[in-house]
């Protein structure tokens, strides 16, 4: 029965439109429009109530440094500029600390690269370091060479499982990423060291392209020699 009842066409009940006599007032407000308007009104009312309560219960003796370190522009608080917050000596000290941190990270990356390289060499069957053998005569030298070649062939003939191969490939990708990171850290260290030297006292100037002996893409500076007093 329910399917037959739904099959019968029904009259579509539309919402009442604005009467012709009230067309000058615009569209007739529906219930959903009233709900949205009432929600926004009560939200603003609650915000004003909380602000009034906060203003009534504030301590008249409270103090914040923002009161003297900001100013009001068109009703909006603007903080003061901190362009000259630190002196030249303080900036040099912070630059030195930053350079030390970058240098420490670069050295740490190099140690990790050396350790990972040695591990991968041992997994591939390659010697992790060079060994020097001393032989008394040619016969002993030939025997040492044959023994080392047999060891290499035995190590390469071993069948490595697939999961170990995947781990080795992942380690090689990590090694390549660490090498790129170490190179980037070295470049950053060199740039920061140059910026630190440029901040020091002394007369210096940037060389023109025709004055540079070895062409390079980076700027080259020259310090003028000054007699110490």
| Per-residue pLDDT tens over the stretch 70-128 | 888 887 877 777 666 667 777 777 778 888 888 888 899 999 888 888 888 766 555 54
The proportion of the chain whose per-residue pLDDT surpasses 70, expressed as a percent, equals 80
The whole-chain average pLDDT of the chain stands at 79
List, for residues 191-208, the tens digit of each pLDDT value: 888 777 777 777 777 777
List, for residues 130-160, the tens digit of each pLDDT value: 667 777 777 877 787 777 766 655 555 456 6
For residue 78, the 8-state DSSP code is E
pLDDT of 125: 52
- Tokens standing for residue 188: 């950053």
Largest CA distance in the chain: 122
- Tokens standing for residue 115: 């350790």
- Chain centroid, CA 126 distance in Å: 37
The SS3 assignment for 211 reads helix
5-34 b/e (C-beta count within 10 Å ≥ 16 → b): eeeeeeeeeeeeeeeeeeeeeeeeeeeeee
- Tokens standing for residue 94: 């912070």
List, for residues 20-64, the tens digit of each pLDDT value: 898 898 888 888 899 999 999 999 999 999 999 998 988 888 887
> What gap in Å lies between CA 67 and CA 79, rounded to an integer?
10
Classify residue 110 by burial, with Cβ atoms within 10 Å: 0-12, 13-18, 19+.
middle
> What gap in Å lies between CA 148 and CA 28, rounded to an integer?
96
| pTM attached to this predicted model | 0.44
């Amino acid at each position: 029965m329910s399917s037959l009842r739904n099959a019968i066409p029904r009259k579509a009940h539309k919402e009442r439109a604005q009467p012709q006599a009230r067309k000058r007032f615009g569209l007739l407000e529906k219930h959903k429009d009233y709900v949205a308007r009432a929600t926004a009104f009560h939200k603003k009312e609650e915000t004003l109530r909380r602000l009034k309560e906060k203003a009534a219960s504030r301590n008249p003796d409270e103090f914040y440094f923002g009161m003297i370190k900001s100013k009001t522009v068109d009703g909006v608080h603007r903080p003061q500029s901190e362009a000259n917050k630190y002196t030249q000596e303080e900036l040099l000290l912070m630059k030195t600390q930053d350079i030390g941190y970058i240098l420490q990270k670069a050295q740490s990356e190099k140690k990790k690269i050396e350790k990972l390289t040695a591990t991968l060499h041992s997994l591939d069957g390659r010697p992790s370091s060079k060994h020097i053998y001393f032989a008394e005569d040619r016969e002993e030298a030939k025997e040492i060479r044959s023994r080392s070649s047999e060891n290499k062939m035995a190590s390469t003939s071993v069948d490595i499982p697939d999961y170990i191969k995947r781990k080795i490939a992942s380690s090689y990708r990590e090694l390549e990423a660490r090498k790129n990171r170490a190179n980037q850290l070295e470049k950053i260290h060199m740039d920061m060291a140059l910026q630190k030297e440029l901040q020091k006292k002394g007369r210096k100037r940037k060389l023109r392209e025709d004055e540079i002996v070895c062409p390079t893409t980076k700027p080259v500076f020259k310090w003028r020699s000054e007699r110490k007093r």
